[in-house]
Structure 1
């Protein structure tokens, strides 16, 4: 049996916009289901909000999102960051640049003391990201 750990990000009203943005950064296949389509009890005024969105990107990455229904609190801040790491510098720098568009770097993507290239940012939807590009191992 395969087990996977996937980030699942909740939004107030802009999950559709956020998933389209992440699709533009990561590529892959995007799937959306609204509350009206999902068969779950919901306030009719929220029928077009996203009950479940999923991006299946290349390299096996999966990102899930939803619009929280009214009455479900979403924390204003989180202690979780989504981390992207590997040794494909071109790909990871592309992800960094895409995620940084409209966002705010909190630590520039540059050589770190441990020999890798590392940076942190908050994207335009308020999601924290870390990118680590493995350095040359000797």
Structure 2
């Protein structure tokens, strides 16, 4: 009788592992890979482009960890990044356009926003466009 309970326990544990493994594998595959660009609206300067990878953090972004943290805090919603403007920038009007294309946790991303200048872009987007 004790042996039967032991075997049933092992079978139940093995079934739980098999059921949970696909969900865990799918979550691990939800990597985020983005191409970020900052371009002068008047095209007077060459655009700057970096790659950003989150989960694990990497890419050519100079502060990838902070950029990933900002996006995670915003739930991957680039529109929410503008709510975090905390820096002090000059009133210089030199518009730049920030774009992001790729995937965030497996979801497609296509984002474009105009900022008053590079400082505002870097400050408002919580390190995402700070490059």
Taking structure 2 as the reference length, the TM-score comes to: 0.22
Structure that is richer in helix per residue = 2
Taking structure 1 as the reference length, the TM-score comes to: 0.21
Larger RCO, structures 1/2 (Cα 8 Å, 6+ apart): 2
Bigger Rg, structure 1 or 2: 2
